[in-house]
Amino acid sequence: MSRKKLFLVLIIVAAIAVFIGFDLHQLLTLENLQKHRETIAGWIDQNLFSAVIGYALVYVFVTALSLPGAAIMTLAGGAFFGNLYGLAAVSVASTVGASLAFLIARFLLRDTLRSRYRQTVEKIDRGIEKDGAFYLATLRLVPVFPFFLINLAMGLTAMKLRTYAWVSWLAMLPGTFVYVNAGTQVGQIQSTGDILSGELLLSFALLALFPLLAKYLVAFLRSRKVYAGWQKPTQFDYNLLVVGGGAGGLVSAYIGAAVKAKVALIEKHKMGGDCLNTGCVPSKALIRSAKAADTLRHADCYGLESVPVQASFKTIMSRVKTIIAQVEPHDSPERYQQLGVDCIAGEASFVSPWELEVRHNDGRTERLTARSIVIATGGKPALPPIPGLDAMAPLTSDNLWDLQEQPKRLLVLGGGPIGSELAHAFARLGSQVVQVERGDRLLAREDADVSTLVKAQFEADGIDVRLQHAATEFRLEDGEKVAYCDHNGERVRIPFDQVLVALGRVANTRGLNLERIGVETLPNGTVPVDDDMSVRFPNIFACGDVAGPYQFTHAAAHQAWYAAVNGLFGQFKRFSVDYRVMPWVTFASPEVARVGLSEAEAKTQGIDYEVTRYGLDDLDRAIAESETQGFIKVLTEPGKDKILGAVVVGSRGAEILAEFTLAMKHGLGLNKILGTIHPYPTWNESAKYAAGEWKRAHAPDRVLAILSKLHAWRLGKR
């Protein structure tokens, strides 16, 4: 605990001790109020101003420290100052006191709670940010929720003090009035319970419905405002129109059809989108060929004769195409047609929030209407405006797959996942690869120890990794392509045959005519979405790369569920997207697979953690396969087995990670992984051994010391 916090705790404890020690709480009773009312009233008549100030200060003191007596204080307000002044004094003092209690709770406890229960706190914060004022108003209006508890609980959330103060003030007014008014009749009250009759409580309960009704009213007015000027069709062609046939669009359409909605999917190019045609599938196929080449090159490691690998690039690329063709039926128009989705080959653009214009690939145009529309138009590689780059006919993940000849000298711009996967694959296939990265490490999103290991392997496989190199210019010099990079102020010359640009991706929003319906894009090009995946209009949704923040097939599919379900059933209930356990993998060798927090993220977010490491060089299966490079790193809550994050760097990282992902998703700790039988010898045993490392570090030393003595004693050698 920090000094400031300790100081505040001491002050509070001292104040409470004085309050109890001097029996002040005994003074704040109905009997005392009734007994001394006339005497006090007489004094107040003479000293009204000081009395009001003194009364308000005591009120603030009692409520700020969450001491008992606020109800009696409120009655006293009515008894001594009457309805008008009493109400004014109490409502101001109670708001100030409540705000101080709120601040005290926040200062003392919020950080600790956030670091212990980050995910829960973040979820509550999101709810508070959206509807906190309504929740608070409801709680305040029902006087059965203890005043001090609301103050403390709200202090632990992210609610703004200003919002908290004014909502509290407003929503406490009716209850305050009832108490103050009762205070004016204090002589007739037998107990504080008399103040709130059954009827009065019922009226408050009804009143408490008001904020909820107001919430719906605000949502209704907001939606009327966004739709102002648009004429909603009286009937629709579809329940759901989906634009884009990649992972996001396919899953949205699938869900719509599964629940028997009338759905159309509009795709302008190839069904399957990037993942099937230019992303995950071709890249993994290429990586597999590269791995085979590497195995052949290092066959001596397995007792075989190593062979010089002659990559037949054309054959490799044709295998890539065959593999795409094999996966294609999963995403084909025929399959989706059979599922009940109308598949339309064409390009869609918005006409209104319910209407799309579709330019069919055969030249026809038509207009289609739907109650809800899902934008799943994906993204494309970003091409930064580096002088001379255009003239180099740069390769990107889009056009790479048409390459017929293997580049002898390949320059890869970018040290992120796509650049790293492709750089490594080409290097293993025999290209001389120079990989240029502006930052000071590869895979910058991962921890430094991960980047270091990946870089070491890349260099061992012949990649010339240039960190802190920013490409500034491209030139043709005597017929040779040359890149110039800035390296800490120095101009570095890198000649090459082909350049592959992997410097991020931009969302596909061009041509959608979003301007027409007033949907703006963020500076990174993505469409801003709400928690329910809706864009500005509650009936238009976006998912996948066009929405971000993740750019993975499984993230697009995950978001698509929310887009489709909220699109079809949002009038009744809207579900908020849940990203808490989002895994991802960079399929280089070693694979880098992560779920949850990295160390760097935990530090930035101020979350306490413990680290457990397990080296794959200890794993029997890894030793048997001569693939011992890599490690597992698990972050847990201090002193607990709750997993905050895990990264697996190694040969089967992606598969091993699945166990940690499942555990995190379902709240299983490392003890549960340790207690699970894993077949021997498997890669997944490494998860169990990592859990074992954690257990060893948390062994009960005292108990073990006692046991050691017990066993020594039982040996009988005294």
Ligand X SMILES: Cc1cc2nc3c(=O)[nH]c(=O)nc-3n(C[C@H](O)[C@H](O)[C@H](O)COP(=O)(O)OP(=O)(O)OC[C@H]3O[C@@H](n4cnc5c(N)ncnc54)[C@H](O)[C@@H]3O)c2cc1C
Residues found near ligand X in the complex (CB under 6 A):
243-249, 266-269, 273-275, 278-280, 283, 347-348, 376-379, 397, 418, 508, 511-512, 544-546, 551-554, 556, 587
Least Å distance between CB 454 and ligand X? 16
By beta-carbon proximity to ligand X, the closer residue of 545 and 599 is 545
Least Å distance between CB 574 and ligand X? 21
What is the sign, positive or negative, of the torsion defined by CA atoms of 675, 681, 682, 685? positive
By beta-carbon proximity to ligand X, the closer residue of 150 and 540 is 540
Least Å distance between CB 251 and ligand X? 8
Least Å distance between CB 244 and ligand X? 3
Best CA proximity match to 266, nearest among 194, 338, 347, 328? 347
- Cβ atoms 457, 290 nearer than 8 A: no
By beta-carbon proximity to ligand X, the closer residue of 411 and 556 is 556
Task: Give 160-168 contacts, CB < 8 A, sequence gap 24+.
Answer: 161/99, 161/102, 161/103, 163/132, 163/133, 163/136, 164/98, 164/99, 164/102, 164/136, 165/95, 165/98, 165/99, 167/133, 167/136, 167/137, 167/140, 168/94, 168/95, 168/98, 168/99, 168/136, 168/140
Least Å distance between CB 236 and ligand X? 19
By beta-carbon proximity to ligand X, the closer residue of 176 and 435 is 435
By beta-carbon proximity to ligand X, the closer residue of 139 and 251 is 251
Task: Give 360-367 contacts, CB < 8 A, sequence gap 24+.
Answer: 361/268
β partners of residue 361: none
Least Å distance between CB 346 and ligand X? 7
* Peptide bond connecting 681 to the previous residue in cis, omega within 30 degrees of 0: yes
Pairing, β 432-436 against β 355-360? unpaired
By beta-carbon proximity to ligand X, the closer residue of 247 and 317 is 247
Kindly list the strands in the beta sheet with 409-413, ordered across the sheet, starting from the edge strand earlier in the chain: 464-466, 432-436, 409-413, 498-501
Neighbours of 295 (CB within 10 A): 15
The C-alpha atoms of residue 443 and residue 644 are separated, in whole angstroms, by: 20
By beta-carbon proximity to ligand X, the closer residue of 106 and 652 is 652
- Angle between helices 161-184 and 118-141 in degrees, nearest 10: 30
Q: How many residues does this entry show for the chain?
A: 718
By beta-carbon proximity to ligand X, the closer residue of 386 and 502 is 502
Q: Which helix (H) or strand (E) holds 286?
A: helix 280-297
Q: Would you give the DSSP letter of residue 581?
A: T
Least Å distance between CB 405 and ligand X? 20
Q: What is the DSSP string of 338-382?
A: HHTEEEEEEEEEEEETTEEEEEETTS-EEEEEEEEEEE---EEE-
Least Å distance between CB 379 and ligand X? 6
By beta-carbon proximity to ligand X, the closer residue of 267 and 342 is 267
Least Å distance between CB 362 and ligand X? 15
- Angle between helices 48-64 and 147-155 in degrees, nearest 10: 60
Best CA proximity match to 243, nearest among 567, 574, 532? 567
Best CA proximity match to 419, nearest among 386, 443, 440, 389? 443
Least Å distance between CB 613 and ligand X? 26
By beta-carbon proximity to ligand X, the closer residue of 113 and 345 is 345
